[in-house]
Amino acid sequence: MEDSGLLARIQARDHGAMSVLFDRYAALVYAVALRVLKDAGEAEDVMQEIFVQIWREPGAFISGRGSLGAWLTVVARNRSIDVLRRRKSSASFELFSLPSQTDLSSEVERNALMEKVRSALKALPEEQQKSLEFAFFEGMSHSEIAEKTGDPLGTIKTRIRLGLISIRKALQS
Amino acid sequence: MNFFEHIPDEDLALYAMQALTPDEMRKAQEHLDQCTHCRAGLAEALGDIALIGLSVDQEPLPEGVKERFLQKIDEETARIQAMSTYPKAVRQKSYGWIGWLAAAACLAIAAYFGIHSFDLQQRLNTAAGQTAELAAQAERAQIILDVLTSKQAVHVTLTETKQPAQPSGNATYLQDRGALIFYGHNLHPLPSGKIYELWLIPQNGKPPIPAGTFRPDPSGSASVILPPIPPGTPAKAFGITIEPAEGSSAPTLPIIMSGQ
pLDDT tens readout for residues A76-107 = 998 999 888 875 444 434 555 555 556 666 67
Q: Report the alpha-carbon angle B50-B39-B253, nearest 5.
A: 105
Give me the torsion for CA of B184, B186, B187, B190, rounded to 10°.
140
**Residue of B9, B29, B33, B52 to mutate, testing the A interface (most A Cβ within 10 Å of its Cβ):** B52
From A31, A103, A143, residue closest to B57, measured CB to CB? A31
- The pLDDT tens digits of the residues spanning A115-142 come to 888 889 899 999 999 999 999 999 898 8
**Is 50 exceeded by the pLDDT of residue B149?**
yes
Collapse the DSSP code of B6 into the 3-class scheme (helix H, G, I; strand E, B; otherwise coil) and give the result. coil
Phi and psi, residue A84, nearest 5°: -60, -40
Collapse the DSSP code of B46 into the 3-class scheme (helix H, G, I; strand E, B; otherwise coil) and give the result. helix
**Is 70 exceeded by the pLDDT of residue B4?**
no
Walk me through the domains of chain B, giving residue ranges and CATH numbers. 9-53 (no CATH), 65-149 (no CATH), 154-259 (2.60.40)
Which strand ranges, in their side-by-side order, compose the sheet holding B154-160?
B209-214, B194-202, B235-244, B257-259, B154-160, B168-174, B179-185, B222-225
Q: Does A106 touch chain B (CB under 8 A)?
A: no
**Is 80 exceeded by the pLDDT of residue B99?**
no
Closest CA to A22 of A45, A48, A44, A41: A48
Q: Which residue of B has its CA nearest to A24?
A: B66
- Is A106-173 the same fold as A1-96? no
Collapse the DSSP code of B240 into the 3-class scheme (helix H, G, I; strand E, B; otherwise coil) and give the result. strand
CA of residue B215 relative to chain centroid, distance: 19
Higher-pLDDT residue of B137 and B183 is B183
List chain A domain ranges. Answer: 1-96, 106-173
- Rounded Cα distance between B30 and B178, Å, is 25
Q: Does A97 touch chain B (CB under 8 A)?
A: yes
Distance to chain A for B197, nearest Cα, Å = 9
Secondary structure letter of residue B11 according to DSSP: H
- Rounded Cα distance between B144 and B226, Å, is 8
How many beta carbons lie within 10 A of that of residue B102, not counting itself? 12
How many beta carbons lie within 10 A of that of residue B9, not counting itself? 16
Concatenated DSSP letters for chain A? --HHHHHHHHHTT-HHHHHHHHHHHHHHHHHHHHHHH--HHHHHHHHHHHHHHHHH-GGGS-GGG--HHHHHHHHHHHHHHHHHTT---SSSS------S----SSHHHHHHHHHHHHHHHHTS-HHHHHHHHHHHHS---HHHHHHHHT--HHHHHHHHHHHHHHHHHHHH-
**ipTM of this predicted structure:** 0.80
Q: CA-CA distances (angstroms) from residue B94 to A22, A134, B26, B109?
A: 38, 50, 38, 25
Predicted TM-score (pTM) of the model is: 0.56
Q: What percent of chain A has pLDDT over 90?
A: 40
Q: Checking DSSP bridges between strand B194-202 and strand B209-214, what pairing results, if any?
A: antiparallel
What's the pLDDT at B118? Answer: 45
Q: Does A141 touch chain B (CB under 8 A)?
A: yes
Q: Does A25 touch chain B (CB under 8 A)?
A: no
- Gyration radius from chain A CA atoms: 17
Amino acid at residue number B60: P
- Rounded to an integer, the average pLDDT of B96-124 is 50
From A4, A96, A167, residue closest to B51, measured CB to CB? A167
A106-173 CATH, one of 1.10.10.10, 3.40.50.2300, 1.20.1440.230, 3.40.309.10: 1.10.10.10
- Kindly determine whether residue A60 and residue B61, on different chains, have CB atoms separated by under 8 Å: no
Collapse the DSSP code of B8 into the 3-class scheme (helix H, G, I; strand E, B; otherwise coil) and give the result. coil
The CATH-assigned architecture of domain A1-96 is Orthogonal Bundle (1.10)
What's the pLDDT at B156? Answer: 64
- Gyration radius from chain B CA atoms: 24
